[in-house]
């Protein structure tokens, strides 16, 4: 097992560690989006299929943006992570709220499936991230 100082030095040299988990999460999200569209289509028609898939996409775009921005901030200076993270959080939730109010005002029947797609996206993204950290990343850290 590597010493903590050696692991820290390896991490400092390996700048890609901040984004290494992203492909796994994007693949899982693509599978979820397809499944959500199928379930939405079967249970509620085309609007529900579109709404469910868009909901998953909203989550994926949000989380991917956060991942990339925070990886960039951390690569520049770790003290940038908190202000960038908080600013991005406020901006994303303000935009999400505005989009949801706008969509709700149209009376579009895909709104509820979209909300369910967002929730499913959060659960799958978070679950896959936990899985990746506890299995793949943990094995790499032990080397």
Query: Cα angle vertex 128, ends 16, 114, to 5°?
Result: 110
8 in any annotated domain: no
pLDDT at 17 over 90: no
3 in any annotated domain: no
Q: What is the pLDDT of residues 40-90, one digit of tens each?
A: 999 999 999 999 999 999 999 999 999 999 999 999 999 999 999 999 999
Instruction: Measure the CA–CA gap between 19 and 16, rounded to whole angstroms.
Output: 6
Instruction: Measure the CA–CA gap between 120 and 123, rounded to whole angstroms.
Output: 5
Which pTM does this prediction carry?
Answer: 0.83
Structural domain of 55: 18-137
4 in any annotated domain: no
53 in any annotated domain: yes
43 in any annotated domain: yes
Domain count, the chain: 1
> So what's the pLDDT on residue 95?
95
pLDDT at 37 over 60: yes
1 in any annotated domain: no
127 in any annotated domain: yes
7 in any annotated domain: no
CA trace torsion 50, 55, 58, 62 (10° rounding) = -160
């Amino acid at each position: 097992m590597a010493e903590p100082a050696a692991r820290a030095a390896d991490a400092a040299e390996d700048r890609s560690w901040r984004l290494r988990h992203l492909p796994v999460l994007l693949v899982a999200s693509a599978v979820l989006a397809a499944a959500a569209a199928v379930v939405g289509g079967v249970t509620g028609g085309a609007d529900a299929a579109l709404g469910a898939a868009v909901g998953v996409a909203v989550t994926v775009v949000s989380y991917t943006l956060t991942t990339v921005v925070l990886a960039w901030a951390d690569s520049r200076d770790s003290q940038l992570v908190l202000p960038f993270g908080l600013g991005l959080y406020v901006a994303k939730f303000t935009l999400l709220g505005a989009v949801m109010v706008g969509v709700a005002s149209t009376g579009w029947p895909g709104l509820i499936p979209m909300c369910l797609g967002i929730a499913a996206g959060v659960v799958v993204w978070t679950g896959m991230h936990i899985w990746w950290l506890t299995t793949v990343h943990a094995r790499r850290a032990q080397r």
